[in-house]
Chains A and B, each alone.
Chain A
Amino acid sequence: MTEAPVIEIEDLWFSRNGEVILEGINLRVLPGDVFAILGPNGGGKTTLLKVILGLISPDRGTVRILGGLPRERRHLIGYVPQLHTFDFHYPISVREMVLSGLLGRKTGMIKTFSTADTVLADKALATLGIAHLADRAIRDLSGGEQQRAVIARALVGDPKVLLLDEPTVFVDTPTETQFYDILGNLARTMTIVMVTHDIGVIISHVTKVACLNRRLFTHDSRELTEDMIQGAYKCPVDIIAHGHPHRVLRPHPSEE
Chain B
Amino acid sequence: MLSLLGYEFFRNALLAGVLASVACGIIGTFVVIRRMVAISGGISHAAFGGIGLGYYLGIEPLLGALGFTVGAALTMGELEQRAEQNMDTLIGAVWATGMALGILFIYVTPGFAPDLFGYLFGNILLVPQGDLVLMLVLVVIIVITVSILFNDLVAVTFDQEYATVTNLPAERLLLVLLVLIALTVVMLIQVVGIILVIALLTLPAAISRECTARVKTMMIFAVLLGCAFTTAGIFLSAFLNIPSGATIILVSAAAYGGVLVKKRLARRYLNPVATGPDRQ
Shortest A118–chain B CB gap in Å is 13
Shortest B181–chain A CB gap in Å is 18
Task: Report if A89-B148 is in contact (Cβ < 8 Å); known contacts: A53-B165, A96-B154, A100-B154.
Answer: no
Interchain Cβ contacts under 8 Å between A and B, 17 examples: A74-B167, A75-B166, A79-B165, A81-B159, A91-B213, A92-B158, A93-B213, A96-B214, A101-B162, A103-B151, A104-B167, A109-B148, A110-B148, A113-B151, A137-B213, A139-B277, A139-B279
Report whether A104 and B158 are in contact in the complex, using a CB–CB cutoff of 8 Å: no
Report whether A90 and B165 are in contact in the complex, using a CB–CB cutoff of 8 Å: no
The digit string for A39-80, where 1 denotes a CB below 8 A from any CB of B, is 000000000000001110000000000000001001101010
> Can you name the residue of chain B whose Cβ is closest to the Cβ of A70?
B165
B151 contacts across to A, CB distance below 8 A: 100, 103, 111-113
A92 to B217, CA, bound (A): 11
Q: A167 contacts the other chain (Cβ, under 8 Å)?
A: no
Interface residues of B (CB under 8 A from A): 33, 147-148, 151-152, 154-155, 157-159, 161-168, 209, 212-215, 218, 277, 279-280
A227 contacts across to B, CB distance below 8 A: none
A74 contacts across to B, CB distance below 8 A: 165, 167
Tell which of B166, B209, B215, B277 has the most Cβ of chain A within 10 Å.
B166
The digit string for A139-173, where 1 denotes a CB below 8 A from any CB of B, is 11000000000000100010000000000000000
B163 contacts across to A, CB distance below 8 A: 100, 103-104
Report whether B213 and A92 are in contact in the complex, using a CB–CB cutoff of 8 Å: yes
Q: A97 contacts the other chain (Cβ, under 8 Å)?
A: yes
Task: Report if A137-B277 is in contact (Cβ < 8 Å); known contacts: A75-B166, A77-B165.
Answer: yes
A90 to B162, CA, bound (A): 15
Task: Report if A92-B215 is in contact (Cβ < 8 Å); known contacts: A55-B164, A75-B167, A103-B155.
Answer: yes
A140 contacts across to B, CB distance below 8 A: 213, 277, 280
Report whether A91 and B164 are in contact in the complex, using a CB–CB cutoff of 8 Å: no
B279 contacts across to A, CB distance below 8 A: 89, 139
Report whether A91 and B165 are in contact in the complex, using a CB–CB cutoff of 8 Å: no
Shortest B135–chain A CB gap in Å is 25
Report whether A90 and B33 are in contact in the complex, using a CB–CB cutoff of 8 Å: yes
The digit string for A98-119, where 1 denotes a CB below 8 A from any CB of B, is 0011011100011111000000
Interface residues of A in 120-146 (CB under 8 A from B): 137, 139-140
Report whether A86 and B165 are in contact in the complex, using a CB–CB cutoff of 8 Å: no
A79 to B166, CA, bound (A): 9
Shortest B4–chain A CB gap in Å is 37
Task: Report if A87-B158 is in contact (Cβ < 8 Å); known contacts: A103-B152, A137-B213, A139-B213.
Answer: yes
> Can you name the residue of chain B whose Cβ is closest to the Cβ of A102?
B166
